[in-house]
């Protein structure tokens, strides 16, 4: 394939700026169809974004002969279903994160795509953002020596809409797979996999401290990477304010950075401090989308695959004791 024609299943909020336009702006890529169960909303999206066709039925989009690859941007509860449909139709799949409700579903998705001979990619787009590529460069250049441990601290306020009778899907376990840790924590755990390699053991505990919704709102974790690097983390979603801090400590220095913030990353050694500023692209998934297109056209490779995405879900399952 010289040009990849994309179809989106679930053209909701994440596709408005973060991802949708990226399929149109990436080289050798175009967005030709979108689907949403509410046909009026699907038509509205298509008209606003200049997409030729819209559907209210996922099967019709998957079997559209002019759709080469499928991007699944629905909540996690339907990731497996739509991935299996696309794989059976012989279409490459790009699925939102977290990859699925649990690792067992991830495994089914991987097997289905392998059987069908189609690639599977996951939307952990930080793997292609400049701010994290710089950290990987520092590590590769041995700037902090042998890595010893990493700490993660992320906390947020609870949101008013989470306390109502119809809370957002991210705190409804039947749709999200659990609490907000799966949505927020997955980004950090995946970027640590990218920076430091796979995690081989993980454990933790979760609780509901705020009582605003039915699932956990605080998670603490202990994990060990295959390299022997140790890690600890805490994620709290009923705190007084917002905080986002990761620290990688080595034998000769340390790297401090946030997962979601825009403040600079900081490298500290005996020689002094080095600060790196990076500006995110407007369509934040576009750099990763470009690597997927390059993979499908035989011109490159994507760093976020079904295998790496499944590893992150495996770690979260073990942290939560699933």
How far apart, in whole angstroms, are the C-alpha atoms of residue 322 and residue 318? Answer: 6
- H or E stretch at 87: helix 79-88
Q: What are the tokens at 50?
A: 């200049």
Please give the torsion angle defined by the CA atoms of residues 220, 224, 230 and 231, in that order, rounded to the nearest 10 degrees: -30
DSSP of 189-219:
HHHHHHHH--EEEEEEEEE-SS-SSSS-SEE
How far apart, in whole angstroms, are the C-alpha atoms of residue 123 and residue 126? Answer: 9
Closest by CA to 75, choosing from 123, 116, 113, is 123
The pTM of this model reads 0.97
How far apart, in whole angstroms, are the C-alpha atoms of residue 70 and residue 93? Answer: 5
Residue 167: partners with Cβ closer than 8 Å, 6 or more residues away? 161, 213
- DSSP label at residue 76: G
Q: What's the CATH architecture for 130-279?
A: 2-Layer Sandwich (3.30)
State residue 245 phi and psi, 5-degree precision.
-145, 125
Does 4-125+284-304 carry CATH code 1.10.3720.10? Answer: no
Helix (H, G, I), strand (E, B) or coil at 32: strand
pLDDT confidence of residue 57? 98
pLDDT confidence of residue 165? 84
pLDDT confidence of residue 199? 98
The C-alpha angle with vertex 168 and arms to 164 and 169, in degrees rounded to 5, equals 135
How far apart, in whole angstroms, are the C-alpha atoms of residue 190 and residue 298? Answer: 25
pLDDT in tens, the chain (322 residues): 799 999 999 999 999 999 999 999 999 999 999 999 999 999 999 999 999 999 999 999 999 999 999 999 999 999 999 999 999 999 999 999 999 999 999 999 999 999 999 999 999 999 999 999 999 999 999 999 999 999 999 999 999 999 888 999 999 999 999 999 999 999 999 999 999 999 999 999 999 999 999 999 999 999 999 999 999 999 999 999 999 999 999 999 999 999 999 999 999 999 999 999 999 999 999 999 999 999 999 999 999 999 999 999 999 999 999 9
Helix (H, G, I), strand (E, B) or coil at 72: strand
> Can you give the residue ranges of every domain in the chain?
4-125+284-304, 130-279
Residue 140, Cβ density class (10 Å: 0-12 exposed, 13-18 middle, ≥19 buried): exposed
pLDDT confidence of residue 163? 87
């Amino acid at each position: 394939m010289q040009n990849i024609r994309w179809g989106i299943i679930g053209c909701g909020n994440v596709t408005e700026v973060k991802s949708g336009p990226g399929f149109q702006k990436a080289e050798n890529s175009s967005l030709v169809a979108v689907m949403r169960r509410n046909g009026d909303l699907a038509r509205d999206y298509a008209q606003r974004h200049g997409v030729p066709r819209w559907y209210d039925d996922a099967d019709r989009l998957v079997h559209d002969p002019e759709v080469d690859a499928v991007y699944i941007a629905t909540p996690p509860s339907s990731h497996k279903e739509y991935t299996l449909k696309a794989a059976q139709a012989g279409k490459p799949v790009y699925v939102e994160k977290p990859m699925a409700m649990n690792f067992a579903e991830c495994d089914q998705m991987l097997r289905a795509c392998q059987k069908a001979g189609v690639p599977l990619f996951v939307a952990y787009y930080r793997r292609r953002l400049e701010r994290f590529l710089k950290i990987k460069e520092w590590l590769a250049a041995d700037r902090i020596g042998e890595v010893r441990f990493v700490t993660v601290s992320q906390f947020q306020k609870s949101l008013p809409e989470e306390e109502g009778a119809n809370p957002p899907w991210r705190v409804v376990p039947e749709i999200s797979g659990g609490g907000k840790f799966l949505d927020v924590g997955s980004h950090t755990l995946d970027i640590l996999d990218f920076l430091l390699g796979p995690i081989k053991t993980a454990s933790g505990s979760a609780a509901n401290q705020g009582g605003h919704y039915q699932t956990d709102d605080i998670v603490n974790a202990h994990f060990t990477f295959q390299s022997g690097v140790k890690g600890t983390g805490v994620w709290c979603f009923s705190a007084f304010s917002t905080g986002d801090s990761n620290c990688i400590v080595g034998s000769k220095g340390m790297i401090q950075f946030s997962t979601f913030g825009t403040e600079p990353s900081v490298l500290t050694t005996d020689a002094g401090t080095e600060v790196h500023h990076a500006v995110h692209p407007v369509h934040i998934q576009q750099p990763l989308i470009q690597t997927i297109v390059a993979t499908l056209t035989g011109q490159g490779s994507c760093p976020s695959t079904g295998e790496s995405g499944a590893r992150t879900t495996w770690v979260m399952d073990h942290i939560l004791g699933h």
